Structure 1
Amino acid sequence: MTRWTRRTVSSGSPLEPKIGFSRAVRVGPFVSVSGTAPIGRDGRAAHVGDVYAQSRLCLDIIGRALMDCGARLEDVTRTRILLTDMATWQEAARAQGEIFGAIRPACTFAEVNRFIDPEWLVEIEADAVVEE
């Protein structure tokens, strides 16, 4: 039986140590990226009121986390897009399509009541499989 190594990646979010989670975890060829919120470099909600811009930021943060795990966007097999208002799904979908249009991972949209910060309109998760 193969024993895979575990690698964790931080994005510097102030919530990571408080909650006890990593932005991404790689175990063998599998990478899981946590629910990624639109948190700017200052630790605060970015692009308040703009679902598209928040979605792009989430995807950019996910892209960096994947790179830090030795993965690429092309390795993504699934994304999950969580929205506080499903009426805005097309704006989040536009951002998803710009990044993943040619890759076409499995994707789920779901509406949630709210996030930790009420200024977050979207969170995005991703899973990837990397060739070893």
Structure 2
Amino acid sequence: MDRRTVSSDTEWEPRVGYSRAVRVGDRICVSGTTATDDAGEIVGVGDPYEQARRAMRNVVAAVEAAGGDVGDVVRTRMYVVDIGDWEHVGRAHAEVFGDVRPATSMVEVSRLVDPELLVEVEAEAVVGSRA
């Protein structure tokens, strides 16, 4: 079975040894993704809603780069540094995924790799799974 990787072309992927996303067959797994722009700068510093929205849009872009679309996303995992932000993060999730309604979880973590990051999102997609 073919294995295809998607890169965001950041310095971190080769340094840490991971890919933004990996597609094997009809399955796409997206690594933990944060609210960064194309230059690697953090978007929405101090704003959990904006960071969640950007991170999820970055997830969707990775799925699309691997040949899927937002409707193929079947699972998301959201990591937040303050569970009190759940409504902001949840609102962003609902806006990005809408009627797709993937299975999901939201977990509070003590910190992320950069103190300005408030949210990190992982996803799994199965291409062609949307009815």
Does the TM-score normalized on the shorter chain lie above 0.5?
yes
- Number of residue pairs the alignment of both structures matches: 129
Q: Deviations over 1:46-104 (max 9, x none)?
A: 21000111111111111111111100110010000000000001101001000112011
The counterpart of 1:118, out of the listed 115, 118, 126, is 115
Verify the 8 A CA contact 2:57 2:96 in the aligned structure 1. Answer: no
The counterpart of 2:75, out of the listed 69, 75, 78, is 78
Q: How does 1:35-50 map to 2 (within 5 A)?
A: 35-50=32-47
- Distance in 2 (CA, whole Å) between partners of 1:99 and 1:131 is 19
Gaps of 5+ in 2: none
- Distance in 2 (CA, whole Å) between partners of 1:69 and 1:43 is 20
- Distance in 2 (CA, whole Å) between partners of 1:14 and 1:52 is 26
Which aligned runs of 4 or more in structure 1 are off by greater than 4 angstroms? Answer: none
- Distance in 1 (CA, whole Å) between partners of 2:34 and 2:14 is 15
Corresponding residue of 1:66: 63
| Shift of residue 44, structure 1, vs aligned partner | 2.5
Secondary structure of 1:102 counterpart: helix
- Distance in 2 (CA, whole Å) between partners of 1:27 and 1:70 is 11
Gaps of 5+ in 1: none
| Shift of residue 131, structure 1, vs aligned partner | 3.4
- Distance in 2 (CA, whole Å) between partners of 1:131 and 1:28 is 11
TM normalised by structure 1 equals 0.93
Across the aligned residues of Structure 1 and Structure 2, the Cα RMSD in angstroms comes to 1.3
TM normalised by structure 2 equals 0.94
Identical amino acids, percent of aligned pairs? 45
